[in-house]
């Protein structure tokens, strides 16, 4: 990966990582890590909306070849799937992991060893999937892994439902942010993920992420080393929302933002309880979404 040095290396050398670990860990005692603001004492295994106590749970880790080509390269993106979620969309495509919490408890040393294993097998990056509710645990694991030679970019692959204070703790730690921007309409986000404020929160969070890392940068071989990728899962019957999200990204984030428009929606979890979510996205709807992006001159990746 050319000469790119991940941000967290310098942050640790300058003493910033330890401060961030202390600040993030202190949030667990009355948890305000994410916008749910549950204020439960996770150090005593009290559980809030994300159903996660003191330790993180990991459902799987591997060299993943299904992510964006800029993350996969020749050797894969080193995904670590954290169990549970602070959003819990009712149609989640990983429902068993995000809502039912399938996975094994993993302490800081275990997560560090997973990071080092993924680097050892040649992954181009560490891809933290659904990390928002376990940021202190990730920072502590990162500190251990750096001491054992971790030196590949860190990806924060999240739902977009993030606290700005927590994101500030990740400044100079995360190399690549990859948030979803799921819904534009508060009524829909209330219905689909119990959070009327999701669109407002996601707009602020994506702006903060872009301020921290800028647009996507790739090395000579086309593999990403830093920047922002926004994912948007096109939803059946909701192309107006897609259009508003694309316009927001272009006008308020950056016209050069890398966007992955995703077509794979199909009913999962409790989606069949809601009429408009009970059918897959049609090819025509997806083509219309792609045309919208092209008309706005947005860079679609994949």
Among 17, 21, 24, 33, binds ligand SF4 (CB under 6 A): 33
C-alpha span between 144 and 53 (Å, rounded): 21
Quick one: which of 201, 56, 59, 58 has its CA closest to 136? 56
C-alpha span between 45 and 233 (Å, rounded): 34
Binding range to ligand SF4, per CB under 6 A, among 25-33, 120-128, 222-230, 278-286: 25-33
Binding range to ligand SF4, per CB under 6 A, among 1-9, 36-44, 260-268, 272-280: 36-44
Q: Which is nearer to ligand SF4, 20 or 133 (CB)?
A: 133
Give least dist CB 191 to ligand SF4, A: 19
- Does residue 184 belong to the site contacting ligand SF4 (CB under 6 A)? no
Q: Which is nearer to ligand SF4, 97 or 289 (CB)?
A: 97
Please say whether the beta carbons of 194 and 32 come within 8 A. Answer: no
- Does residue 89 belong to the site contacting ligand SF4 (CB under 6 A)? no
Give the helix/strand (H/E) hosting 109. Answer: helix 108-120
Per-position x/- string for 48-87, each x denoting binding to ligand SF4 as judged by CB under 6 A, each - no binding: xxx-----------------------------------x-
Q: Which is nearer to ligand SF4, 105 or 147 (CB)?
A: 105
- Does residue 169 belong to the site contacting ligand SF4 (CB under 6 A)? no
C-alpha span between 181 and 257 (Å, rounded): 13
- Does residue 167 belong to the site contacting ligand SF4 (CB under 6 A)? no
- Does residue 133 belong to the site contacting ligand SF4 (CB under 6 A)? yes
Q: Which is nearer to ligand SF4, 52 or 242 (CB)?
A: 52
DSSP string, 254-287: -TT-EEEEE------TTGGGSGGGSSPPPHHHHH
Quick one: which of 290, 188, 201 has its CA closest to 246? 290
C-alpha span between 58 and 112 (Å, rounded): 12
Give least dist CB 49 to ligand SF4, A: 4
C-alpha span between 234 and 111 (Å, rounded): 32
Q: Which is nearer to ligand SF4, 33 or 293 (CB)?
A: 33
- For residue 249, give the DSSP letter: I
C-alpha span between 14 and 47 (Å, rounded): 34
- Does residue 40 belong to the site contacting ligand SF4 (CB under 6 A)? yes
Q: Which is nearer to ligand SF4, 80 or 281 (CB)?
A: 80
Helix, strand, coil percentages, rounded to 5, for the chain: 40, 15, 40
Binding range to ligand SF4, per CB under 6 A, among 14-22, 45-53, 145-153, 196-204: 45-53
Region of 122 on the Ramachandran plot (φ > 0 left; ψ -120 to 50 alpha; else beta): left
- Does residue 115 belong to the site contacting ligand SF4 (CB under 6 A)? no
Binding site for ligand SF4 (CB under 6 A): 31-34, 36-38, 40, 48-50, 86, 133
């Amino acid at each position: 990966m050319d000469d790119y040095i991940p941000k967290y290396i310098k942050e640790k050398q300058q003493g910033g990582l330890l401060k961030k670990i202390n600040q993030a860990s202190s949030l667990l005692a009355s948890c305000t890590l994410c916008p749910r603001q549950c204020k439960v004492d996770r150090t005593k295994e009290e559980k809030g909306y994300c159903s996660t106590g003191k330790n993180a749970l990991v459902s799987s880790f591997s060299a993943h070849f299904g992510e964006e080509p800029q993350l996969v390269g020749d050797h894969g993106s080193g995904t670590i799937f954290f169990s549970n979620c602070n959003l819990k969309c009712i149609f989640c495509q990983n429902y068993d992991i995000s809502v039912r919490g399938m996975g094994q408890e993993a302490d800081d040393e275990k997560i560090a060893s997973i990071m080092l294993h993924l680097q050892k097998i040649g992954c181009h990056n560490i891809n933290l999937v659904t990390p928002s509710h376990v940021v202190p645990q990730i920072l502590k694991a990162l500190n251990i892994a750096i001491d054992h030679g971790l030196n590949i970019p860190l990806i924060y692959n999240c739902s977009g439902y993030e606290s700005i204070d927590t994101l500030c703790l990740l400044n100079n730690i995360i190399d690549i942010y990859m948030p979803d921007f799921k819904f534009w309409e508060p009524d829909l986000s209330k219905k689909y993920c119990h959070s009327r404020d999701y669109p407002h929160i996601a707009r602020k969070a994506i702006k903060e992420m872009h301020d921290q890392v800028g647009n996507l940068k790739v090395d000579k071989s086309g593999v990403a080393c830093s920047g922002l990728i926004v994912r948007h899962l096109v939803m059946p019957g909701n192309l107006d929302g897609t259009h508003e999200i694309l316009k927001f990204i272009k006008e308020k984030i950056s016209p050069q933002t890398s966007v992955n428009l995703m077509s794979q929606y199909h009913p999962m979890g409790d989606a069949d309880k809601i009429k408009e979510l009970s059918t897959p996205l049609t090819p025509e709807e997806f083509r219309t979404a792609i045309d919208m992006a092209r008309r706005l001159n947005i860079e679609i990746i994949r």
